[in-house]
């Protein structure tokens, strides 16, 4: 069962106050040891392919690359990020895979010119890639007709999802691939977040049916991502052994049918980085309005958008300036600085504002939003012309700046006032 403190003074052995002093606030801080530990959790799988959309800083990609993780990219610039972080192109399995439902012009050029493996999520991708790269291997991402997610916005399967090739179109896709002499060497089936084992049995059965229809050209299957992490007090950790065993049994049956080994990949994003991340913010106002107490921070949904998008819950802790870890607690609403009513960290899906039980705190003290390593910085924005936060990686007890805070000059770079005649 997970437990989260409501007071803290350190992150990975480094003083929060010192981190704030050195790097200012708001700032994202990542604990490298947690990322390494989560990667080790998945050692039973043949390969772990990091879904970099969760947290794509070059230092995080480099850390995972050096520890043996492969990488998934969902855009042209994510492919370029992977290359910049030291990932190579050649290898079996391919170090970089492009997974998407479309090609834009640059992503297609990169995949063709740099021989980056493609995981096709639409018939149009097969047509466009096959027209320029006949004879190559591809993977198909299949939508089995159902999905699963902790939120309707994280459900990536079923008839209302844009993702993947609809299972009833598989025969047409195989014919199209054959016409372009493309070899379907892998299958991918990611239908959303969560790891309900009864639901997972359906996914494994669907994968097996699809693989049998494709035939023995299949040499790899991917579980996709979506592995959950605990965000709330008392949440259980996912049973990784049971999760692996279901997929391994599926793999073994396919190996028996095909007469050759089948690689088993998993593709986590959130699972590897969420628990490593902390967003440190300074409390800039403590407001009492009717029966409510507000802690207003210098960080808002421009820094961490998950609460406003999904109603996502994040554990929080206060950093007491006097070191008192036993302050009285009170129910508070935690919000940010934006000129926007929805700029509230303590809200549920649908925008319903709720309170959180936190220690009493004062202006100038720090609040830490925890489990913020996934879909934090990467979903940030410049709303209200606020700069993107700095990012820091703690490795072996030392804090390293891995992204400088955005400056005003960075913010307006590329903007041009045209010369207009009067």
Q: What is the pLDDT of residue 200?
A: 87
- Its domain, for residue 339, covers 274-412
Query: d(Cα 21, Cα 82) in Å, to the nearest integer?
Result: 32
Residues 248 and 286 grouped into a single domain: no
- 422 within a domain of the structure (yes/no): no
155: domain CATH number is: 3.20.20.10
Catalytically annotated residues: 339
Residues 83 and 189 grouped into a single domain: yes
User: In whole numbers, what is the pLDDT of the chain averaged over residues?
Assistant: 94
408: domain CATH number is: 2.40.37.10
Residues 233 and 284 grouped into a single domain: no
| Mean pLDDT value across residues 316-337 | 97
Residues 293 and 393 grouped into a single domain: yes
Query: d(Cα 331, Cα 346) in Å, to the nearest integer?
Result: 11
Residues 120 and 243 grouped into a single domain: yes
Residue 335 has pLDDT above 70, yes or no: yes
Residues 149 and 295 grouped into a single domain: no
Residues 163 and 184 grouped into a single domain: yes
Residues 195 and 294 grouped into a single domain: no
Residues 200 and 341 grouped into a single domain: no
- 10 within a domain of the structure (yes/no): no
Residue-wise pLDDT tens digits, 236-287: 999 999 999 999 999 999 999 999 999 999 999 999 999 999 999 999 999 9
Residue-wise pLDDT tens digits, 186-230: 999 977 666 678 888 889 999 999 999 999 999 999 999 889 999
């Amino acid at each position: 069962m997970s437990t989260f403190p409501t007071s803290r003074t350190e992150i990975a052995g480094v003083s929060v106050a010192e981190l704030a002093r050195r790097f200012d606030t708001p700032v994202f801080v990542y604990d490298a040891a947690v990322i390494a530990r989560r990667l080790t959790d998945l050692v039973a799988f043949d390969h772990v392919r990091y879904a970099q959309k969760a947290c794509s800083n070059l230092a995080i990609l480099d850390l995972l690359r050096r520890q043996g993780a492969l990488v998934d990219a969902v855009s042209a610039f994510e492919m370029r990020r992977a290359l910049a972080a030291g990932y190579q192109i050649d290898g079996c399995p391919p170090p970089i895979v492009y997974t998407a439902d479309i090609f834009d012009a640059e992503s297609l050029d990169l995949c063709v010119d740099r021989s980056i493996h493609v995981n096709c999520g639409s018939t149009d991708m097969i047509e466009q890639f096959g027209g320029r790269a006949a004879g190559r291997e591809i993977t198909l991402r299949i939508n089995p007709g159902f999905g699963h997610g902790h939120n309707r916005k994280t459900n990536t399967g079923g008839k209302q999802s844009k993702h993947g090739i609809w299972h009833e179109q598989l025969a047409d896709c195989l014919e199209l691939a054959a016409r372009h002499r493309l070899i379907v060497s892998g299958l991918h089936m990611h239908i959303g977040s969560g790891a309900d084992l009864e639901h997972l049995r359906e996914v494994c059965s669907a994968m097996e049916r699809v693989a049998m229809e494709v035939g023995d050209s299949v040499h790899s299957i991917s579980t996709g991502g979506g592995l959950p992490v605990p965000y709330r007090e008392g949440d259980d950790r996912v049973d990784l052994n049971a999760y692996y065993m279901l997929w391994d049994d599926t793999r073994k049956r396919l190996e028996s049918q095909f007469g050759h080994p089948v690689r088993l990949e998993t593709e986590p994003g959130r699972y590897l980085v969420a628990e490593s991340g902390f967003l440190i913010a300074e409390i800039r106002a403590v407001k009492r309005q009717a029966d409510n107490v507000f802690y207003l921070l210098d960080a808002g949904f421009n820094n961490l958008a998950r609460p406003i998008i999904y109603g996502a819950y994040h554990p929080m802790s206060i950093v007491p300036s006097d070191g008192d870890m036993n302050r009285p607690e009170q129910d508070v609403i935690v919000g940010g600085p934006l000129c926007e009513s929805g700029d509230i960290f303590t809200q549920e899906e649908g925008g319903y504002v709720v309170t959180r039980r936190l220690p009493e705190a004062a202006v100038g003290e720090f609040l830490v939003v925890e489990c913020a390593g996934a879909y934090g910085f990467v979903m940030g924005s410049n709303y209200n012309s606020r700069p993107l936060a700095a990012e820091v990686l703690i490795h072996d007890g030392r804090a390293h700046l891995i992204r400088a805070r955005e400056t005003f000059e960075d913010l307006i770079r590329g903007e041009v006032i045209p010369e207009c005649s009067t």
